[in-house]
Amino acid sequence: MPQRTQITLPSEDHQRARARAAEMGVSLAEYMRDLVARDLNCGAAPRSSPEDLFDLGSSAGADVASEKDTYVGEAVSAGRVRGGGTA
């Protein structure tokens, strides 16, 4: 069961920790829990940001935003031809 803890930080450290947590998109409490878990080798997974998902590949000029229905239809049809889909 989680235990509530209170800590006192110097003002500058507190401000910097809040700013870092905000950069990471997490609460100050979550930031602190991650720091403790990493320090104790509790296997906390490193946080990733939404930006890590962008620029992973090229759309090769495809306009997915306006053609998504067509692309999904083609993918479903291709699955049926290969026997991978159910009808």
Q: Which pLDDT score, from 0 to 100, does residue 16 have?
A: 96
Report whether pLDDT(58) > 70: no
Any domain includes 12: yes
Q: How many domains does the chain have?
A: 1
- Residues composing the chain: 87
Any domain includes 87: no
Any domain includes 36: yes
Any domain includes 62: no
Any domain includes 75: no
Any domain includes 10: yes
Residues in Cβ contact with 20 at an 8 Å cutoff, skipping those fewer than 6 apart: 31
CA distance 78 to 87: 12
The pLDDT-based confidence of 82 (bands split at 50, 70, 90) is low
Q: Which residue has the higher pLDDT, 21 or 71?
A: 21
pLDDT digits (tens, 9 = 90+) for 59-77: 677 777 788 888 888 888 8
Q: Please state, for a pLDDT cut of 90, what percent of the chain lies above it.
A: 36
Any domain includes 60: no
Any domain includes 30: yes
Q: Kindly tell me the burial class for residue 33, based on how many C-beta atoms sit within 10 Å of its own C-beta (0-12, 13-18, 19 or more).
A: middle
To the nearest whole number, what is the mean pLDDT of the chain?
A: 81
Q: Which domain covers residue 5, as residue numbers?
A: 1-50
Residue 24 in contact with residue 16, Cβ under 8 Å? no
